[in-house]
């Protein structure tokens, strides 16, 4: 694909800014959307210009910023029509209580509100306001009406507010918003599918302070959760201990040990269409963890008895009616051979293999995908990009399975 074709293939959003303090976050949001390959054009209300300048947004987006219904740069003199016609969505962030009231009533007294009324693309709104304004019955009625009208509401969340109070009404952070918008725009190749996933390491206690674990960061699993959500799936994520924010839109259960992870998987297995076992589950646990810290002595050696942990992937793949199962194999050598042996032994449809010394804790990954059709290699790329390619492959295999069953 040429550079021109890539540019033409990019998603385009119209980012609308209204007059809230959170308008300063729009600068970061423009950058984060751009990082995801989304082209951003900006429209600002008069009030928004009091918080952040159009020049800032123009510099970051690389496109002219529009603020007036009477802007002469649009040839036909109709910016309220033309600016949205080639866009994939309008995103209003921050969206004040006033803007949401106007949108719910269909009022159109400035460029942004008129654009939202005259659009033929989806509208996404990220509320930002004081907690009492958010909780007011009028605002809640407006939110309910917007949802009935098919508007997507992202947030708000609870937290510290510019007024010094704390509560619900804080706009979602730019990273979270960009992730959610990107997911909204992505092709829904897993629409209607329920995906159950595991991610991260497990921690098996030896005593009150020590334990058996590994260096898994959870980044690959969380990237796959984001990619599956973007593809339209309903995602349940069973996560070991990681230092990562939960993927927006995922139902997350946090666990520590392999036994806890196994119990969580068993709870959700019956409803899953697809299972992706990304977690680096400890193969062994101590047979009898000590309640208190084991004290070190000069003479004594410490002997710890280990017993096997449950094979989560093997269990779910051997169910009478298993979901479409995807496993992960982290090896240090003989990558494809070991991974394919694991795939055949556990009878899973797809095994993703990577070299542990290169992938664990890193932001990039290079994997082999092994299925009944052979080995498919994905070159080194960010884990988010690799995750999107894996999800596309899973969707293709699921479609193939569905066609064969008819």
At 115-164, the pLDDT tens digits run 999 898 999 999 999 888 999 999 999 999 999 888 998 988 887 777 77
At 292-351, the pLDDT tens digits run 998 887 667 788 899 999 999 999 999 999 999 999 998 888 888 999 999 999 999 999
Cross-strand pairs, 92: 16, 125
Strand bridging mode 234-239 / 364-371: unpaired
Question: Both tokens of residue 258?
Answer: 């392999």
Task: Average the pLDDT over 173-196 and give the result.
Answer: 91
As a whole number of angstroms, the distance between CA 234 and CA 323 comes to: 14
Query: Which of 49, 116, 121, 163 is labelled catalytic?
Result: 163
As a whole number of angstroms, the distance between CA 136 and CA 86 comes to: 36
Question: Both tokens of residue 221?
Answer: 């699993």
Known catalytic residue at 49? no
Note whether 10-185 and 194-292+300-405 share their fold.
yes
Fold assignment, 194-292+300-405: Rossmann fold (3.40.50)
As a whole number of angstroms, the distance between CA 296 and CA 327 comes to: 39
**C-alpha distances out from residue 45 to 96, 286, 392, Å:** 11, 62, 39
Characterise 198 by phi-psi region: left (phi > 0), alpha (psi -120 to 50), beta (else): beta
Architecture of the domain whose range is 10-185: 3-Layer(aba) Sandwich (3.40)
Per-domain residue ranges for the chain?
10-185, 194-292+300-405
At 76-112, the pLDDT tens digits run 656 667 777 888 999 999 999 999 999 999 999 999 9
Task: Average the pLDDT over 367-392 and give the result.
Answer: 90
Q: What pLDDT does residue 238 have?
A: 98
Q: What pLDDT does residue 269 have?
A: 96
**C-alpha distances out from residue 83 to 37, 48, 87, 142, 344, Å:** 20, 18, 8, 25, 54
Q: What pLDDT does residue 401 have?
A: 62
More confident residue, 3 or 192: 192
* 3-state SS, residue 152: strand
As a whole number of angstroms, the distance between CA 78 and CA 50 comes to: 25
Q: What pLDDT does residue 398 have?
A: 87
Cα dihedral 48, 51, 55, 58 in deg (nearest 10): -60
Confidence of residue 6 (pLDDT cuts 50, 70, 90): very low
At 191-236, the pLDDT tens digits run 999 999 999 999 999 999 999 998 899 999 999 999 999 899 999 9
Q: What pLDDT does residue 406 have?
A: 54
Q: What pLDDT does residue 294 have?
A: 87
pLDDT above 50 (res 250): yes
pLDDT above 60 (res 403): no
pLDDT above 50 (res 4): no
């Amino acid at each position: 694909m040429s550079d021109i074709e890539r540019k033409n293939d990019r998603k385009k959003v119209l980012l609308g800014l209204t007059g809230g303090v959170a308008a300063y976050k729009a600068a970061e949001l423009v950058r984060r959307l751009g990082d995801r390959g989304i082209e951003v054009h900006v429209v600002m209300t008069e009030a928004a210009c009091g918080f952040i300048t159009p020049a800032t947004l123009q510099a970051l987006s690389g496109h002219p910023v529009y603020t007036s219904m009477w802007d002469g740069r649009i040839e036909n003199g109709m910016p309220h029509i033309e600016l949205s016609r080639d866009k994939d969505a309008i995103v209003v962030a921050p969206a004040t209580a006033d803007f949401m009231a106007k949108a719910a009533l269909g009022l159109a007294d400035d460029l942004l509100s008129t654009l939202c009324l005259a659009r033929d693309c989806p509208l996404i709104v990220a509320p930002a306001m004081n907690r009492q304004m958010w909780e007011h019955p009028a605002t809640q009625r407006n939110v309910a009406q917007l949802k009935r009208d098919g508007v997507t509401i992202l947030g708000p969340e609870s937290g510290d507010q510019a007024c010094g109070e704390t509560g619900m009404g804080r706009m979602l952070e730019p990273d979270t918003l960009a992730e959610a918008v990107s997911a909204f725009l992505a092709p829904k190749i897993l629409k209607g599918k329920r995906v159950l996933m595991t991610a991260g390491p497990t921690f098996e206690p030896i005593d009150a302070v020590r334990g058996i674990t590994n260096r898994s960061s959870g980044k690959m699993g969380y990237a796959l959760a984001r990619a599956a959500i973007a593809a339209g799936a309903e995602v349940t994520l069973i996560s070991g201990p990681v230092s990562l924010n939960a993927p927006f839109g995922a139902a997350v259960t946090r666990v520590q040990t392999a036994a806890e992870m196994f119990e969580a998987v068993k709870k959700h297995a019956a409803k899953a269409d697809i299972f992706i076992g990304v977690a680096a589950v400890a193969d062994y646990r101590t047979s009898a963890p000590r309640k208190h810290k084991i004290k070190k002595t000069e003479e004594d050696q410490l002997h710890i008895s280990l017993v096997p942990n449950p094979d989560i992937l093997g269990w779910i793949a051997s169910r009478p009616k298993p979901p479409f199962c995807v496993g992960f194999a982290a090896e240090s050598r003989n990558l494809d051979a070991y991974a394919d042996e694991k795939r055949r032994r556990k009878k899973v449809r797809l095994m993703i293999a990577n070299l542990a010394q290169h992938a664990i804790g890193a932001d990039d990954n290079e994997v082999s995908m092994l299925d009944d059709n052979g080995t498919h290699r994905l070159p080194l790329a960010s884990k988010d990009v690799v995750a999107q390619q894996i999800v596309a492959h899973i969707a293709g295999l699921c479609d193939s399975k569905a066609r064969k069953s008819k």
